[in-house]
Amino acid sequence: MASPEALLICEHCDTVYRRRALVRGDVARCACCDAELERHHALSVNAMLALILTAFIVFVQANMWPIVTLGLNGQHSSTTLWGMIVAMWREQAGVVSVLVAATLFFFPLMKMSLLGWLLWFARAGRRAPGFRQLMVTLHYLGPWTMSEVFVLGALVAIVKAHTYFDVTPDPGIYAYAALTLLITIFAGVDLRQLWDETPEPLA
């Protein structure tokens, strides 16, 4: 039998394949269930690192700047992401407050920090300190970051508010839109490749 590294198992149906080298643009699909097995990555480690650093800067701005301002009879009211989290907490919706804080702030922040750390070392072909534990954490963080959903939510809120108030979009919403774009570019990357691309340290 071939060595385990030469094999690939479809996560969706358990079919076993022999790994083959992919060239640019290739996507390997399962012949049984049509799930994606593996995809060739056009992004180098350096490109990914640059993308993550950009996303990090945009994320900081998206959280610092107000998202949108409402006006009513000369009064103005605006909010940031943390303003939302605090408001929900004060209004007895603690569960929602925690959900928003986790999916829009803490999890995305953790994801970017972990990736930045791991890729910084991967650039030199090394495994970062704590590599194993951090890669496992990253795996479980997977579906729990929702910045792109928030952008659509903000759009809906703006349209709803528009009926009663003067609405002025603030820089925060543009930063969020840019962040969504960066997330989309990054979405196709299978981070498991970091396991293969960096050698196991000799114990």
Distance in angstroms (rounded) separating the CA atoms of residues 167 and 33:
48
Q: Which residues of 134-153 are buried (b: 16+ CB within 10 A; e: fewer)?
A: bbeebeeeeeebbbbebbee
Smallest distance, other proteins to C-beta of residue 53, A: 25
Contacts with Zn ion by CB under 5 A lie at: 10, 12-13, 15, 30, 32-33, 35
CB atoms within 10 A of CB 177: 16
One of 53, 87, 109, 141 touching other proteins (CB under 8 A): 87
- For other proteins, the binding residues in 120-179 under the rule CB under 8 A are 132, 135-136, 139, 143-144, 146, 149-150, 152-157, 159-165
127: closest CA among 22, 197, 198, 179? 198
- For other proteins, the binding residues in 22-61 under the rule CB under 8 A are 31-35
Smallest distance, other proteins to C-beta of residue 132, A: 6
**Coil, strand or helix: which one is 168?**
strand
Distance in angstroms (rounded) separating the CA atoms of residues 51 and 64:
20
Torsion of CA 46, 50, 56, 62, to 10 degrees: -150
Interface with other proteins, residue 16, by CB under 8 A? yes
For residue 22, give both structure tokens: 């992919």
Smallest distance, other proteins to C-beta of residue 123, A: 20
Interface with other proteins, residue 199, by CB under 8 A? no
Q: Give me the residues that bind other proteins (CB under 8 A), please.
A: 1, 4-5, 7-9, 11-16, 31-35, 67-68, 70, 72-73, 75, 77-79, 83-88, 91-93, 95-97, 99-100, 103-104, 132, 135-136, 139, 143-144, 146, 149-150, 152-157, 159-165, 192, 195, 200
